[in-house]
Amino acid sequence: MVGLRNQSSDDLVKELLSTVKKLSDIQSDDRSLMTLCPEGLPSLQNVKEIMSLLWKLMFPELFFERTAIISRLEYRIGITTERLFELLQEEIAIGLSCRPKRNGKQMIDNYPEAHDLTMDIISFLPELKRLLYTDIHAIMRKDPAAGNEVEIILCYPSVKAMLHHRFAHLIFSMHIPYLPRIISELSHSQTGIDIHPGATIGEYFAIDHGTGVVVGETCIIGNHVTLYQGVTLGAKSFRYDGEGTPLNIPRHPIIEDNVTVYSNATILGRITIGHDTVIGGNVWVTESIPANSRVIQGGIRNDNLSH
């Protein structure tokens, strides 16, 4: 800035014009960002509205006006679902345009496919609601500080994180670029819980407190699993192809049913934590753990523990 301040006005204009030209020089080869998404990018504003609509549809008793609850709930849900369909179809069509080229050609009209995928997503919403309520009930059973379901929905970040994750995971399974990651990162920024949309998570999943929890892409988590704050389910190392690009292969832990992982534990690599195991706080696990174990800083106990 000092150098620019000392220049004459003509020199300053030249310098600014040169900078603008350099910034405007879009790459002409296949690395150009414009070639990756020829129909534009998903709209962050639309995705935020999609998640807001979804939140209302999951809990209409709480987030629709009381007059609607009493007299016109089905009508309001219908209007909200219609708006959700419209936004989803638009964003999915844009996402599909960002897929790699097929036989050297980019698909232009993605709306027929986007329409069918959106219909599948809308049809899944009742199941999404059921799954989300299993997570709420898990928190009720695990946390004595939880007063009731309303308090959990309004105040516990894990509910919002799991709504985003279960929805993003469905879209991820449909191989739609960008949209699942945008949804998961919205949740990450709002809750401090970072779950990759590729992670597979079973029913009755509870996250207590939640800040700093990280769950990697290829994690498989069973039913009735509880994680506390600061838990990392990550990758220990990566394998690379001949060009030095990391291979996207299973590299994150498998957590079986009825496992509890306490705060700041780190579990790395494609290992299995056996069912009915407790992982203590601040431990580092890089090898598989048998079922019914208790892992603490001093070592591993296997005493047919049930919890």
Could you tell me what percent of the chain has a pLDDT over 70?
87
Q: pLDDT band for 71, please (50, 70, 90 cuts).
A: low
Q: What is the pLDDT of residues 100-125, one digit of tens each?
A: 765 445 556 788 999 999 999 999 99
Residue 306's pLDDT is what?
Answer: 44
AA letter at 222: G
- Contact partners, residue 235, CB within 8 Å, separation at least 6: 216, 251, 252, 268, 269
Q: What is the DSSP string of 115-163?
A: HHHHHHHHHHHHHHHHHHHHHHHHHHHH-TT---HHHHHHH-HHHHHHH
Q: What is the pLDDT of residues 10-55, one digit of tens each?
A: 888 998 998 888 877 765 554 566 667 767 788 999 999 999 999 9
Q: Which two three-digit tokens encode residue 126?
A: 């009742």
Contact 224, 142 (CB under 8 A): no
Count of beta carbons in the 10 Å neighbourhood of residue 134: 16
Residue 257's pLDDT is what?
Answer: 98
